[in-house]
Structure 1
């Protein structure tokens, strides 16, 4: 167990966060319990975060910043903390998401992580490994803050219809997830298109991929294998994937028709079931 007196702020972003939290709390003359009472968290949680045994959340950080008058320090640090908790092979992708001016993604079986709901995230992450689920879920959800920046990237996603029909987490989770996709219907920066089964053979049969474009730097293509990611700026690969993406967008339903299909699948596949007396059943 890490002892607070020997916590090394240079050991990791999480340790640095805990060090700064303790420093500002003590400067304010507050105990862990007193600070917890102010921000509506337990003193025990404050202590666990100070000793790098528990991950802070953006909401916790915002409340602490307001209570201690830190000028938003912890809210800035929490993004580094969350990114550092991602698998090592995925941390570069999170950095690409932060820097990108445009993100184009094709997904064959799942909703992209930047558009996943909390329940959907939990279902995906717990499929084989239910350990530390709260922290792992918070880490993935923290990535979505990139879409809330002052100048967020333009986000395009082409989803195979299979991603809508693959029931992850149960009917209620899927209904909530599809409703979440529909919430972006009027957002010009977040665009969701569906590639219907009726298209047949298409340019994305080789699998999912992401394309990141930047204001000044060369574009990067990212593909993912089992427990490994493969980013590349190879010009030929980028050109090939860019062409494939153009063809996928052309073959996919329009934004309006995609929303109509999402809504139809949500109601027909994941809507309330009724018994013979028209009473809803689970």
Structure 2
């Protein structure tokens, strides 16, 4: 795609917003500099919005609607975009993940991809009858290179006890996976805690999510079956952080979590 072009408007709601921004700007004979002054941002930010590299914020949408008398056109589109599945979420997620300084991750269903052994990952991909299994397995394992950076990110991970109790791939695969979890948990940048079944109902039952801190700020990712979405709004990211803290309040301490993993590992014989 040419840097001056907008993405295919049919590919996602965010792409439609990028296309609409450029269309409305050009229809009014405005330059990117003029829109940048209107939104109180850099000219480069307008280029990124129109190229689909950045997402229009709610406040920016409201400013455009008022200035251009659109009848809340942009505000409504942003609202719908934030409610729905973003087909580009995984690409965006892995780009942020590779640059992460800190990752907060809660999962009540699976071992996170960064912590998966090849055997565990293969079993998951096979269960989904993935026609691109070998390629996807290589890509998943390659993502773990972030763990071996010269300065690796801090990893704050909360896992439901059920995650480490389900024999994904069979006893041998699961035993190897739990041994690897224990190994990773000994790294100084990894803080792994288990939410025991005895905790009962907690906010993690709503589903897995991540918060990634990069140099430019924080973003969230909320996962769902066959998709997910990127969370950019600061208020929503703060909500995810609060949710993580509340789940952490019912999790076992690090040492107790290791002992529980060791106990369950012994059961996979």
The TM-score range, normalised by the shorter chain, is: 0.5 to 0.7
For 1:229, the equivalent position in structure 2 comes to 228
Q: CA deviation at 1:230?
A: 0.3
CA contact (8 A) 1:218 1:233 kept: no
Corresponding residue of 1:199: 199
Q: Distance in 2 between matches of 1:189 and 1:134?
A: 30
User: How many Å apart are 1:251 and its aligned residue?
Assistant: 1.4
Deviations along 1:203-249, one digit per CA (max 9) or x if unpaired, are: 2121110011123x231110112322201111221111111111222
User: Which is bigger in relative contact order (C-alpha 8 A, separation at least 6)?
Assistant: 2
**What is the DSSP-based 3-state SS (H/G/I as helix, E as strand, rest coil) of the residue aligned with 1:251?**
coil
For the residues of structure 2 that align with 1:263 and 1:196, how far apart are their CA atoms?
14
Question: Equivalent residues in 2 for 1:1-282 (5 A)?
Answer: 89-215=89-215, 217-268=216-267, 270-271=268-269
State the 1:171 CA deviation: 0.7
Distance 1:233 1:128 in 2: 30
Contact 2:207 2:223 in 1 (8 A): no
Give how far 1:88 is off. Answer: 5.1
What SS does structure 2 have at the residue aligned with 1:212? strand
**Matched-pair contact (CA < 8 Å) for 2:89–2:230:** no
Deviations 1:50-92 (A, max 9, x none): xxxxxxxxxxxxxxxxxxxxxxxxxxxxxxxxxxxxx954111
Q: Which residue in the other structure is 2:81 paired with?
A: none
Question: Structure 1, residues 110-161: CA drift from partner, whole Å, max 9, x if none?
Answer: 0000000000010001112243322221111000001111111101110000
Aligned equivalent of 1:29: none
TM-score, normalization by structure 2: 0.65
- Does the aligned pair in 2 maintain the 1:109–1:160 contact within 8 Å? yes
Return the alpha-carbon distance in structure 1 between the equivalents of residues 88 and 172 of structure 2. 32
Which residue of structure 2 aligns with residue 58 of structure 1? none
Distance 1:109 1:167 in 2: 12
CA contact (8 A) 1:164 1:262 kept: yes
CA contact (8 A) 1:184 1:191 kept: no
CA contact (8 A) 2:157 2:193 kept: yes
How far apart, in 1, do the equivalents of 2:195 and 2:166 lie? 14
**CA-based RMSD:** 1.4
C-alpha contact (below 8 Å) 1:109/1:166 kept by paired residues? no
Between the aligned partners of 2:88 and 2:151, the Cα distance in structure 1 is 27
Measure how far apart 1:259 and its partner are: 0.4
1-structure distance, mates of 2:235, 2:170: 41
SS of 2:252's partner is coil
What TM-score do the two structures reach when normalised by structure 1?
0.62
SS at match of 2:110: coil
Structure 1 moving runs of 4+ over 3 Å: none
